[in-house]
Structure 1
Amino acid sequence: MEIEIRNADPEEWKRLGQIMVDVYSSLDGFPRQNEQPAYYQMLENIGTLTKNPNTEIIVAVDSQKQVLGGVVYFSDMKYYGSGGTATAELNSAGFRLLAVDKAFRGNKIGKRLTQKCIEKAQQDHVEQLIIHSTKAMQTAWGMYERMGFARSKDLDFMQGQLPVFGFRMRFQK
């Protein structure tokens, strides 16, 4: 399967938001829409995050330009939008909300989206790349660790009743 990883076009935001809602709402142990409606509204309207400076939506598309998944990249952590201390991290980039359409899993799309974020962070000459995950996201968690991210308990926080775990990848200077 031919897959292109690139910045999303605004007309692709709605489809990516639908994928994100579908993926996150189906995770065992993850809050449902009725438990965190504002979170799911943010996912549905994922394109609004680009109103913040230094924020990009990256998508994976096939040869027919069908959106297969995506992620939000922040070259300035003050726009990252998580709980905890991550938004105060200086000289850092981050990404959040990685999701791959269930029909296209197993094609290394999540890994390619993550790699694109790593490349962007290196091009931005930051010291580290920060991400968060939950116990419900064990597949992603394992992938992040295999790619070189290390658990960083200082970035952990609670999102309501949900523990959220921080990871970082430090870059050589």
Structure 2
Amino acid sequence: MIDPAFRGKGLGRALSTECVARAKRDGAPAIALHTSPIMTVALPMYLRMGFLKAHDVPPIFGVPYAVYTKAL
């Protein structure tokens, strides 16, 4: 989660892009994350980055979550 004072500056995208780059560098065939619809900025960003919903996972404290993957 990005501190509210720093939101909208591209930090989440930069961090996510770096994670993808490191996974590629390390020869990973894919990268995965879990997120929730309550992440109203992050989830659309991950979808724009090419992550696809793989499957739902059990809720955490009643909040729905799913795993998203991106082939590298």
Same fold (TM > 0.5):
yes
Residue 156 of structure 1: CA displacement?
Answer: 2.4
In the alignment, the residues of structure 2 paired with residue 148 and residue 107 of structure 1 have an alpha-carbon distance, to the nearest angstrom, of: 21
Give the TM-score, by structure 1 length.
0.40
* Equivalent residue runs for 1:1-173 within 5 Å: 99-153=1-55, 156-171=57-72
In the alignment, the residues of structure 2 paired with residue 138 and residue 112 of structure 1 have an alpha-carbon distance, to the nearest angstrom, of: 17
Residue 113 of structure 1: CA displacement?
Answer: 0.3
4+ residue segments displaced more than 4 Å: none
Cα RMSD over matched residues?
1.2
Q: Where in structure 1 are there 5+ consecutive unaligned residues?
A: 1-98
As a proportion of its length, which structure holds more strand?
Answer: 2
In the alignment, the residues of structure 2 paired with residue 105 and residue 160 of structure 1 have an alpha-carbon distance, to the nearest angstrom, of: 25
In the alignment, the residues of structure 1 paired with residue 33 and residue 26 of structure 2 have an alpha-carbon distance, to the nearest angstrom, of: 16
Q: Where in structure 2 are there 5+ consecutive unaligned residues?
A: none
Residue 157 of structure 1: CA displacement?
Answer: 2.5
Give the TM-score, by structure 2 length.
0.90
Amino acid at match of 1:159: I
Amino acid at match of 1:151: K
Q: Which has the higher contact order (CA 8 A, sep 6+)?
A: 2
In the alignment, the residues of structure 1 paired with residue 70 and residue 50 of structure 2 have an alpha-carbon distance, to the nearest angstrom, of: 6
What is the aligned residue count?
72
Q: Greater CA radius of gyration, 1 or 2? A: 1
- Can you list the C-alpha shifts for 1:71-124, whole angstroms capped at 9, x where unaligned? xxxxxxxxxxxxxxxxxxxxxxxxxxxx21101111111000000100110011
In the alignment, the residues of structure 2 paired with residue 164 and residue 145 of structure 1 have an alpha-carbon distance, to the nearest angstrom, of: 15
